């Protein structure tokens, strides 16, 4: 490569999510969401029974976050709306003006600083009232979400031009409604994940259509969905069984959502046939994987204006022996992802450092989905507690990853338009509470004023952002 320069107008960002940073869980008329309920139930659902009640306090300390953004020199900031802060029972029946005011202040201040907001409408924190009506397992939520999206476009769309409907439907569906380790903790093995994902895809598509039909001409913005994926490679590249398992791994993850939205409105054929066959063997009269009608397929196809990818790691894949397994989306996939022993591990055991996996995944997306514009909307490295302010390992991860992004752009012709580090701040890392730190800024959770301090990575990232260039020694 001739230089470490990124293309002009490359978007440099960092990401956060409402429940993970805001706190103020019942402030100023906010309604409860499923994570409020889940964490308040205790019972070790979250490490040390920690909650997001206070988190980074961003509901009141949002100006401190702006200082961090400024210090990094970001061009973009991705954050999510807390749905139940805006609409306490999830519906437009009652609008919480204080919640609207909060996001107005945040958006207006970002724009004054010259920072472009990228807003996620739903990042795992479903209003409890919507969950009480069936949540994502219910078809009703599709239209409730559509109305929420419409409300957000109406209220903020004069200034917000980049919308992400749903963050990581793969995790949101499976962890919340299949394994039950995420709120609301439903354990419907082999069924819940598929059903929730089905409704999320429809909700996303409807939210895209509302924008496209009623707002796009006037507001000139764009709507997408954030999909997460590992990159996967066969454990033994010469083994047909490993190669097939790797394909299944990708089809049951990235393609589960990307095929309907970016290709043809429907699930991958292999996914449909495996789940349908297994369902028959289990004596069921219909597949555990719901079907889209022809009308729904036409409605879903082509409902993303750009591709948002959350990438963290890579797996080597081999077949999973499913003979003694109960019905589950994992046994349907029939593939097991393994970490190579020589891959360095971050502060969390699932996050092996494999930057080259991102380059391969980006090329795969380019070829599978018609060379879309891609924003990497999350990528990051965790430190375990207590974290080092001199986080040299993390900066190594970022540097190597950004190098792979550059190669993808310059050598593979992938249309990558932006990169967002996860995360701006140390925050509430779901089941791991505050023990896992992904921030570019350290947050001292032991002090009442929750001070933010830049890690070494923040200072280095700021240099890359400023120069639009990776200087790699
Ligand atoms: C989620 C974030 C989470 C991050 C690190 C992503 O799956 O969108 O909310 O904190 O991964 O685990």
Catalytically annotated residue among 22, 131, 168, 460: 168
Tokens encoding 108? 């207006």
User: Which CATH number is 319's domain given?
Assistant: 3.20.20.80
- Length reported for the chain: 473
Burial of 294-316, coded b for 16+ CB within 10 Å and e otherwise, reads: eebbebbbebbbbbbbbbbbbbb
In the chain, the number of structural domains is: 1
**Model confidence pLDDT, tens digit, residues 105-119:** 999 999 999 999 999
pLDDT confidence band for 473 (50 / 70 / 90): low
Do residues 463 and 399 touch, judged by C-beta distance below 8 A? no
What is the pLDDT, as a whole number, of residue 1?
Answer: 77
The question of whether 349 is a catalytic residue gets the answer no
Give percent above pLDDT 90 in the chain.
97
> Which conformational region is residue 23 in: left (phi greater than 0), alpha (psi within -120 to 50 degrees), or beta?
left
> Which conformational region is residue 149 in: left (phi greater than 0), alpha (psi within -120 to 50 degrees), or beta?
alpha
Closest CA to 307 of 249, 269, 257: 257
Residue 168 Cβ < 6 Å to ligand 1: yes
Residue 3 has pLDDT above 90, yes or no: no
Catalytically annotated residue among 131, 378, 429, 460: 378
Q: Which of 65-69, 280-284, 319-323, 453-457 has the lowest mean pLDDT?
A: 319-323
The question of whether 139 is a catalytic residue gets the answer no
Residue-by-residue DSSP string for 26-91: TGGGPPPBHHHHHHHT-TTSSGGG--SSSTT-HHHHHHHHHHHHHHHT-SEEEEE--HHHHSTTSS
Give the Å distance between the CA of 90 and the centre of ligand 1: 23
Please give the Cα distance from 45 to 183 (Å, whole number).
9
Which atom of ligand 1 is nearest to 351's Cα?
12
- Which structural domain, as residue segments, surrounds residue 54? 3-471
pLDDT confidence band for 472 (50 / 70 / 90): confident
**Model confidence pLDDT, tens digit, residues 158-192:** 999 999 999 999 999 999 999 999 999 999 999 99
Residues with Cβ < 8 Å from 172, sequence gap 6 or more?
122, 124, 136, 166, 182, 196, 200
Q: Which of the listed residues 124, 349, 375, 422 should we mutate to test ligand 1's pocket, taking the one with most ligand atoms within 8 A of CB?
A: 422
Residues with Cβ < 8 Å from 321, sequence gap 6 or more?
none
Q: Which of the listed residues 52, 183, 430 should we mutate to test ligand 1's pocket, taking the one with most ligand atoms within 8 A of CB?
A: 430
Residue 15 Cβ < 6 Å to ligand 1: no
**Model confidence pLDDT, tens digit, residues 315-365:** 999 999 888 789 999 999 999 999 999 999 999 999 999 999 999 999 999
What is the pLDDT, as a whole number, of residue 25?
Answer: 98
What is the pLDDT, as a whole number, of residue 322?
Answer: 86
- What average pLDDT does the structure give for the chain? 98
Give percent above pLDDT 70 in the chain.
100
Residue 269 has pLDDT above 70, yes or no: yes
Residue 106 Cβ < 6 Å to ligand 1: no
Residue 329 Cβ < 6 Å to ligand 1: no
What is the pLDDT, as a whole number, of residue 471?
Answer: 87
């Amino acid at each position: 490569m001739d230089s470490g320069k990124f293309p002009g107008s490359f978007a440099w960002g960092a990401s956060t999510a409402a429940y993970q940073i805001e706190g103020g869980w019942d402030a100023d008329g906010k309604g409860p969401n499923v994570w409020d309920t889940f964490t308040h139930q205790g019972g070790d659902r979250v490490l040390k029974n920690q909650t997001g009640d206070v988190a980074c306090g961003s509901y009141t300390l949002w100006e401190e976050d702006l200082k961090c953004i400024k210090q990094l020199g970001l061009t973009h900031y991705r954050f999510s709306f807390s749905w139940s802060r805006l609409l306490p029972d999830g519906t437009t029946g009652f609008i919480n003006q204080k919640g609207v005011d909060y996001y107005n202040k945040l958006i207006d201040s970002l724009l004054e600083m010259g920072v472009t907001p990228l807003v996620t409408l739903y990042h795992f924190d479903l209003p409890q009232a919507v969950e009480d009506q069936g949540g994502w397992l219910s078809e009703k939520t599709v239209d409730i979400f559509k109305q929420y999206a419409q409300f957000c476009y109406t209220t903020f769309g004069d200034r917000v031009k980049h919308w992400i409907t749903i963050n990581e439907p793969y995790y949101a569906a499976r962890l919340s409604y299949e394994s039950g380790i995420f709120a609301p903790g439903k354990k419907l093995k082999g069924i819940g994940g598929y059903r929730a994902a089905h409704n999320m895809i429809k909700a996303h598509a409807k939210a895209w259509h509302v924008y496209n039909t009623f707002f796009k001409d006037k507001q000139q913005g764009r709507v997408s969905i954030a999909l997460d994926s590992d990159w996967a490679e066969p454990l033994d590249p010469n083994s047909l069984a490993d190669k097939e398992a790797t394909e299944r791994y990708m089809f049951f993850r990235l393609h589960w959502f990307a095929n309907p939205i970016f290709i043809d409105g429907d699930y991958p054929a292999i996914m449909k046939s495996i789940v349908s066959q297994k369902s028959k063997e289990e004596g069921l009269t219909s597949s555990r994987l719901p079907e889209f009608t022809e009308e729904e397929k036409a409605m879903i196809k082509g409902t993303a204006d750009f591709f948002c990818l959350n990438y963290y790691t890579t797996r080597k894949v081999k077949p999973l022996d499913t003979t003694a397994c109960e019905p589950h989306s994992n046994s349907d996939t029939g593939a097991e992802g393994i970490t190579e022993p020589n891959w360095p591990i971050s502060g969390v055991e699932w996050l092996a450092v494999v930057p080259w996996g991102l380059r391969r995944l980006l090329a795969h997306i380019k070829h599978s989905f018609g060379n879309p514009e891609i924003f990497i909307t999350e990528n990051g490295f965790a430190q375990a507690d207590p974290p080092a302010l001199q986080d040299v390992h993390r900066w190594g991860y970022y540097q190597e990853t950004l190098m792979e992004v550059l190669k993808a752009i310059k050598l593979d012709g992938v249309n990558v338009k932006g990169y967002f580090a996860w995360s701006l701040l140390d925050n509430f890392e779901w089941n791991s509470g505050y023990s896992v730190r992904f921030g570019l800024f350290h947050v001292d959770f032991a002090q009442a004023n929750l001070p933010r301090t830049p890690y070494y990575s923040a200072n280095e990232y700021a240099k890359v952002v400023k120069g639009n260039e990776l200087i790699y020694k």
